[in-house]
Structure 1
Amino acid sequence: MIAARALLTVALACGLAIPAMAQAKSPKQEMEAGRQLVSGFGKCMADAEPEMAKAVVLADKVDFRDPEWQGALDSRCMGLYSGRLHMHLFYYQAALAERLSTNSFPATALVGVEAIVPLNASLSPDAPNAVRYTMALRLGECVARANPAGARAVFATRIDSSDEIEALQALGGEIAGCVPEGREVAIDRTSLRAGLAIMYYRLAARLADRGGA
């Protein structure tokens, strides 16, 4: 739960990639394994196919069955889990965005971001978990604008590590400032990190297109 004056709490998210062979693990172990798988796959794809990865992150909707997106899921990056990896687009976009931001943009990528009008990203109302993910995107954009260096500090941490928790908690002031006065917002750290990654990259890309990065 994140409230206007509260620090981030540690919670688990749903909808990540879970390999078939991991079913014997505890729910917490499955979730951690899923996060690691999506992260590793996203890094591989962003390195192997950066242009396609960029297109996926910037897209509001992606249908992997459409020939247009045929190269967005490369089996070479799935390793032992090829054919058995299932993930929500939101978390895949986040994994790609973190890697692309690190590879493509300097630490000063969001200098001048105030010149960019709010992107106000949202998912289609009929998309799974649309309300939760839209909230994560909106909060992520606000926090990325307020503290770009803090956002990148999060991306530099290992998933499910104490460093990740500390980096997210360090953004407590910005998170509080992005929540309307008197309103409570419940969000898990997985969704918050994902929303932060996607929106940091989209803002940086928009600035770069304008010649601001």
Structure 2
Amino acid sequence: MILRFALLISAAFVAAPPALAQETGTLIRHRVAQMPGRGPAAARVTMEGFAACVVDRSQGRTRKFIDLPVGSPEYKSLLKSMFDPSDECMADGQLELSENLLRGGIFVALFKHDYKSKAIDSFPDDLNSGYLQLYGDTVPSAAYSVVALEQFGECVARANPALSRSLVLSYPASRQENETVQALMPKFSACIPDGEKIELSKATVKGAVAEGLLRLTRAVTKSEFARTEVQK
């Protein structure tokens, strides 16, 4: 099964990041711990910090969450459970973000937690992350945009694992992030077949690349472990 989609990059993608509430997907409103000061990257810093806190405190839930089909009852239940008002990740402050942005933030946090020190030069051409198989023969309309972003992220990660890793590990709106995005621009175009149009910001691209990179890194790690077990 091949998902075909096109990418529209707005002027805001290259300049300052857009407001998080403008992303596609269902808006989620919640209180967030340690809301940073003003600035173009303040909301993104808060979002990544919140996602990192959720991953740190709820590793079991987040690892289960990323392996569920989008839109399934269990997926929705786990997503909702990540916004427990009694959780210490929640405090004074207000942030609006979409499900897609939160999802991307979780993958950024998980990659940093699991594979920050693991650098991979290339991925085997036949390596399968297994994500599309969660949906069978047809991706439901409710999950299409998320799956399309994941496939875009995998494509970029395969094309240049080193730059993809640099992007995921970068601080929002930092020089490293800006330079890495510019360097990856040609790969973005190469990963966009004809089809549905999707508008991306830096935050969305970073989340998509983080998801693709994490899934591929996890797949190659499992493959390496399996070969080691066979050789014993």
Report the TM-score, using the length of structure 1 for normalisation: 0.70
Which structure shows the bigger proportion of residues in strand conformation? 2
Supply the distance in 1 between the matched residues of 2:204 and 2:118 (Cα, whole angstroms): 23
Paired position in structure 2 for 1:200: 213
Q: After the TM superposition, which of the residue ranges 189-198 and 154-163 deviates more from structure 2?
A: 154-163
Aligned match for 1:155, one of 168, 185, 205: 168
In 1, distance between residues paired with 2:171 and 2:119? 22
Change (3 A) 1:54 1:120: closer
Distance 2:76 2:48 in 1: 22
Q: Given that residues 154 and 167 in structure 1 are in contact (C-alpha distance below 8 angstroms), is that contact kept between their aligned partners in structure 2?
A: yes
Instruction: Provide the residue aligned with 1:100 in structure 2.
Output: 110
CA 1:64–1:88: 2 relative to 1, 3 Å: farther
5+ residue gaps, structure 1, are 3-7, 22-27
Choose from 191, 202, 209 the match for 1:178: 191
Q: Distance in 2 between matches of 1:50 and 1:113?
A: 28
Q: Match of 1:9, as an amino acid?
A: V
Letter in 1 for 2:14: T
Contact 1:32/1:160 (8 A) holds in 2: yes
2:142 to 116, 126, 142: 126
The 1:169/1:201 distance shift into structure 2, 3 A limit, reads same
Q: Which moved more, 1:96-105 or 1:115-124?
A: 115-124
For 2:199 and 2:82, the matched residues in 1 are separated by 31
Match of 1:79 in 2: 91
Matched, 1:166 2:179: yes
Equivalent residue letter for 1:57: I
Structure 1 residue 212, shift from structure 2 partner: 5.5
Of the three residues 9, 28, 36, the one matched with 2:14 is 9
Which residue of 87, 90, 102 corresponds with 2:100? Answer: 90
Paired residue type of 1:116: L
* Distance in 1 between residues matched to 2:99 and 2:128, nearest whole Å: 25
**In the aligned structure 1, how far is the partner of 2:45 from the partner of 2:202?**
14
Count matched residues.
196
Residues 118 and 201 of structure 1: is their aligned pair in 2 closer, same or farther, counting only changes over 3 Å?
closer
TM-score calculated relative to the size of structure 2: 0.65
> How far apart are the structure 2 equivalents of 1:186 and 1:91?
13
